[in-house]
Amino acid sequence: MTLCSKCGKDVKKMHNCQHTNENDYCVECYTELHYYLTEQVVID
Ligand SMILES: [Zn+2]
Ligand SMILES: [Zn+2]
């Protein structure tokens, strides 16, 4: 079981990059993070 570092939800697929400070985020939190960073949805 893996928990999102931001919302704490149990998720199967994790996402991380330099913007998450190497934490694992769920796709919703990951997308939201990049939305605020770039004002558009970017998955890198
Ligand atoms: Zn999350
Ligand atoms: Zn990023």
pLDDT of residue 13: 92
Ligand nearest to C-alpha 38: 2
Which numbered ligand comes closest to the C-alpha of 43?
Answer: 2
Confidence (pLDDT) at 1: 75
Count of domains forming the chain: 1
User: In 20-41, which positions are buried (b, 16+ CB within 10 angstroms) versus exposed (e)?
Assistant: beeebbbeebbeebbeeeeeee
Q: What is the pLDDT of residue 38?
A: 74
pLDDT in tens, 1-44: 789 999 999 999 999 999 999 899 999 999 999 888 877 555 66
H or E element, residue 32: helix 27-38
The CA 35 to ligand 2 mean position distance, Å, reads 10
Whole-model pTM over 0.85: no
Which domain does 26 fall in, by range? 1-44
